[in-house]
Structure 1
């Protein structure tokens, strides 16, 4: 009869042999997977393309019915991930496929979306980011926005509920060119001005709000903003923000029918004194306060009609 020590040694030898066989099996599985991928590449024209070209081809698969497509398992890029390993590798190495997106966060607790939003935006790497968020904004979502602020090119927020200050601290939006804040509740004029002040290259700002309490805002001088759009979605008048803005580079001022008091607009124009300015007015309004403004050498006033959330 074998001794206890002999049995223990035998068990150890068998365990070692099993581990070696497992390693051999893993290597065989990897070799078979590589062979299958190589076989698929022979019949897959996409796999034979350079990654940059394949990425451009996949870009044509993105939904074209919206400027900001919403993520979905039946649409690119998520759909492309499930085709094969080659396609998955190409999609995950193509930041541009993830860089324009709309997240609908209409839920009682939007923080549940934060991991998914963070994972999606993480795939954009350093690509220029065009982001549309709608719904409620939790602190967790706010931190995701702040993390990707430097690569934001376009930021569009339609907020139904804000759990606190929109941003704990306003991160530098060094590349932001277009900012639109609308359908908002609980965002102060001060926060809007902070956004504007943190985006030195901003070219276009649109504000349409349900509620913009004034608080104690700090006035902002912005030297690159060329287009300012103000539209009204309820009883609030977002043109109140004009009291705190000076925009010497402004070329287009768009105001909905009932936005803007004479004092707000005329004082703003007198401070800014843009050399060339087109003013688009929604509906019929009195135009006295668009008269002579010191330093204003050219002005064009166009009456437009505000319909369906846009000016026509």
Structure 2
């Protein structure tokens, strides 16, 4: 065969190869489509109506924004049918988890995620990890620009590094130069530091509250505030807030309650780390909230929350049904019991009383006097108590007191007086 014929033969074979490649590509595409149809025919989820399959996917979401898995991303990787369902279910994309530190490329992903969520309200969880958290403002700026869709905002800080003293003065600037789109849908705000306290600008917290007309719950744990020159000292009235809870080591209670009026507050938990009894009373007088559940902590200094201020606060809360005292001394407990026994109009609706007495190995305040035990019985006789919990008590009450308490148990009350392990009432 001549050279020219060989060249022609090669061209012919190349053309045949290209044709066969195109045919193979088409066959592979047809096979993939057929496999997809077979998977859809065999997949019970794909055979369901979209409303039903979407609801099944929604049930796979974690109960809170801080769940460990990005469920929508996992669903996208199963098969084409599940991908179509996931992309057709906007509510599946309303839970947004941001983990700092992260790369700037995450700022490119967020808009796609928000687009898939449509106009649905968002639950955003921001997790802070690592010894020196690198807060990415490119990412947070996108979050704040979608503030109008925020319904739940959670900031979780699990940095376990023992910070140097000079770092304690550094506050986390949430917004920097970003403009916060009014979070008109925001209902819950949680800032929780698991190990080390982190400082926040109080003006930014108030800014969030001022622009959130539907906020109903705030939780702060291990959070500190740093004073700033731009702090607005005017009283901010938040008419929708019903639940306000401060963790035991949080010291933001003083600043916030001095600047807030909460006329709809129903549940309040205060460690009283920095707020004085007088400050609490002023807050109560200013807000006159319809409290149903109140938890108060006591400093080691017994004068931090005096009985006079406490009883005045309780008189302003006639609808209170649950009252918890954390680490009060025995004098504070005795004075409360006397007030309850001598003044039936004080806390007339109280159903649940829990007292976690301050316990020190060198001091035993939990040993009530006989008079205090009988005062307790008198106080209970004027109320339809459903639950009484007092710990730690290391010495059993007098027998006649126990008889009276056991009669209340027979009548349906839940009583626990003693240590965590031992209940004298039922022992």
TM-score range, shorter chain: 0.7 to 0.9
Give the aligned length: 287
Secondary structure at the counterpart of residue 254 of structure 1: strand
Secondary structure at the counterpart of residue 77 of structure 1: helix
What's the CA shift string for 1:115-159, capped at 9, x where partnerless?
Answer: 344443443222232221121432112212213222222111135
RMSD of aligned C-alpha atoms? 3.7
- Is the Cα–Cα contact under 8 Å of residues 162 and 187 in structure 1 kept in the other structure? yes
- Is the Cα–Cα contact under 8 Å of residues 75 and 82 in structure 2 kept in the other structure? yes
Distance 1:254 1:111, change over 3 A: farther
1:267 to 268, 272, 282: 282
Taking the aligned partners of 1:53 and 1:104, their CA distance within structure 2 comes to 32
- Is the Cα–Cα contact under 8 Å of residues 246 and 268 in structure 1 kept in the other structure? yes
Measured after TM superposition, the shift of residue 33 of structure 1 is 4.2
Q: Provide the residue aligned with 1:69 in structure 2.
A: 67
1:98 to 69, 93, 97: 93
**Where in structure 2 are the equivalents of 1:53-132 lying within 5 Å?**
53-63=52-62, 68-71=66-69, 76-105=71-100, 107=101, 111=104, 113-132=106-125
Q: Provide the residue aligned with 1:141 in structure 2.
A: 139
Taking the aligned partners of 2:146 and 2:89, their CA distance within structure 1 comes to 17
What's the CA shift string for 1:212-236, capped at 9, x where partnerless?
Answer: 12322243111111111122436x4
List gaps (5 residues or longer) in structure 2.
1-14, 160-169, 300-304, 328-355, 357-388, 390-427
Q: Provide the residue aligned with 2:3 in structure 1.
A: none
Q: Provide the residue aligned with 1:303 in structure 2.
A: 324
- Is the Cα–Cα contact under 8 Å of residues 129 and 151 in structure 1 kept in the other structure? yes
Taking the aligned partners of 1:241 and 1:198, their CA distance within structure 2 comes to 16
Secondary structure at the counterpart of residue 123 of structure 2: strand
Measured after TM superposition, the shift of residue 243 of structure 1 is 0.9
More strand by share: 1
1:249 to 264, 280, 304: 264
- Is the Cα–Cα contact under 8 Å of residues 126 and 156 in structure 2 kept in the other structure? yes
Secondary structure at the counterpart of residue 78 of structure 1: helix
Measured after TM superposition, the shift of residue 202 of structure 1 is 0.6
Larger Rg: 2
List gaps (5 residues or longer) in structure 1.
1-14
- Is the Cα–Cα contact under 8 Å of residues 65 and 125 in structure 2 kept in the other structure? no
Q: TM-score, normalised by structure 1?
A: 0.76
Q: Provide the residue aligned with 1:182 in structure 2.
A: 192
Secondary structure at the counterpart of residue 84 of structure 2: helix
Measured after TM superposition, the shift of residue 271 of structure 1 is 1.2
- Is the Cα–Cα contact under 8 Å of residues 71 and 102 in structure 1 kept in the other structure? no
Measured after TM superposition, the shift of residue 245 of structure 1 is 0.4
What's the CA shift string for 1:46-69, capped at 9, x where partnerless?
Answer: 1111112111122333456x6631
Measured after TM superposition, the shift of residue 97 of structure 1 is 2.4
Taking the aligned partners of 1:30 and 1:305, their CA distance within structure 2 comes to 68
Taking the aligned partners of 1:122 and 1:287, their CA distance within structure 2 comes to 55
Distance 1:111 1:283, change over 3 A: farther
Taking the aligned partners of 2:199 and 2:314, their CA distance within structure 1 comes to 36
Taking the aligned partners of 1:232 and 1:166, their CA distance within structure 2 comes to 27
2:247 to 224, 231, 246: 231
Taking the aligned partners of 2:62 and 2:264, their CA distance within structure 1 comes to 36
Secondary structure at the counterpart of residue 206 of structure 1: strand
- Is the Cα–Cα contact under 8 Å of residues 265 and 289 in structure 2 kept in the other structure? yes
Distance 1:203 1:210, change over 3 A: closer
Q: TM-score, normalised by structure 2?
A: 0.57
Q: Provide the residue aligned with 1:158 in structure 2.
A: 156
Distance 1:81 1:226, change over 3 A: same
What's the CA shift string for 1:261-297, capped at 9, x where partnerless?
Answer: 2232122112112244532113575443233369946
